[in-house]
């Protein structure tokens, strides 16, 4: 067996063993289950679980623990900064040309959505958004789509900390109403926000999936009443869903892809 380097911190290795004990087949685990999967004593597993919970990477529900959205921080920066925007760009360009509107790709970062790719509308008047722009997740269509993909524990944690702000007269100011909108988006597979963030601006978004995981949201920004809600449902959303499917497939989700 190779000798461990002098700099090696064993506790870091054990912390990752605990985090990696959770997966799609085992999203919720008890202390005993984590101890068995991570190859450590129950007492050690408990200390690591409680520490990671205090740090926000795990959530506790009775005897069970599960990963929280913060655990995505470890890999999100790499994915968002490298492969995903490049893969999405040609699909966003095609969608922007087809719809004549600004198209974007966003990820969830804490309580905000962050634009990681954006293609402006070919029209003279377009929405001014650039890569790195952040908005409160609750106030945007892509944010509500991404919130709908969280676990119940993650979503409850979000609602326990979110602070609503009135951007326009149409901004949602009730947590119950916001939760209902998030649930609606989760059920129907898309979300539309009309003039809640900025007067005259309507946003529509659908999730991008890799296998069973929602990794981002594709959004189209529409100016004012130019496109009716009925037209959006019949013509815009199907094109958004197809673009999201293609991005997910190109990002490694083809073998397990499902309809968005």
> Which distant-in-sequence residues (6+ apart) come within 8 Å of 9 by Cβ?
none
Q: What is the mean pLDDT of the chain?
A: 85
Measured distance CA(21)–CA(45) in Å, rounded: 11
Mean pLDDT, to the nearest integer, of 230-234?
A: 80
Question: Which one of 3.40.50.150, 3.10.20.600, 1.10.287.40, 1.10.10.10 gives the CATH number of domain 11-67?
Answer: 1.10.10.10
Pair 14, 48: CB distance under 8 Å: yes
Pair 192, 202: CB distance under 8 Å: yes
> Which distant-in-sequence residues (6+ apart) come within 8 Å of 133 by Cβ?
114, 115, 118
- Among left, alpha and beta (phi > 0; psi -120 to 50; other), residue 108 is beta
Query: Which range (57-61, 97-101, 189-193) has the least confidence?
Result: 97-101
Pinpoint the residues of the chain covered by CATH 3.30.450.40: 73-256
Q: What is the pLDDT of residues 87-128, one digit of tens each?
A: 899 999 999 988 888 899 999 988 889 888 888 877 645 456
Taking the domain 73-256, which CATH number applies? 3.30.450.40
Measured distance CA(102)–CA(133) in Å, rounded: 14
Is the pTM higher than 0.75? The answer reads no
Helix (H) or strand (E) holding 136: strand 134-136
Q: Using alpha carbons, select from 85, 81, 103 the residue that is nearest to residue 94.
A: 103
Measured distance CA(156)–CA(141) in Å, rounded: 19
């Amino acid at each position: 067996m190779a000798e461990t380097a002098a700099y090696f911190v064993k506790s870091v290795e054990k912390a990752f063993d605990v985090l990696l004990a959770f997966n799609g087949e085992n999203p919720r685990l008890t202390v005993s289950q984590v101890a068995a999967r991570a190859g450590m004593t129950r007492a050690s597993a408990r200390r690591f679980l409680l520490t990671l919970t205090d740090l926000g990477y795990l959530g506790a529900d009775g005897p069970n623990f599960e990963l929280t959205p913060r655990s995505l921080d470890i890999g999100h920066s790499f994915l968002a900064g490298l492969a995903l925007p490049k893969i999405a760009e040609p699909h966003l360009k095609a969608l922007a040309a087809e719809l004549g509107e600004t198209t974007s790709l966003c990820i969830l970062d804490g309580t905000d959505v962050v634009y990681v790719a954006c293609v402006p509308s070919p029209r003279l008047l377009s929405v001014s958004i650039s890569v790195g722009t952040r908005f409160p997740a609750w106030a945007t269509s892509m944010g509500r789509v991404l919130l709908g993909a969280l676990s119940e524990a993650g979503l409850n944690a979000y609602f326990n900390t979110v602070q609503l702000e009135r951007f326009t007269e149409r901004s949602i100011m009730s947590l119950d109403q916001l939760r209902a909108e998030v649930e609606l988006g989760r059920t129907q597979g898309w979300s539309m926000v009309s003039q809640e963030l900025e007067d005259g601006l309507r946003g529509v978004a659908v999730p991008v999936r890799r296998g069973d995981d929602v990794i981002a949201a594709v959004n189209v920004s529409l100016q004012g009443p130019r496109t009716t809600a009925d037209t959006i449902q019949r013509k815009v959303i199907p094109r958004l869903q197809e673009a999201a499917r293609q991005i997910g497939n190109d990002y490694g989700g083809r073998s397990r892809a499902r309809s968005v």
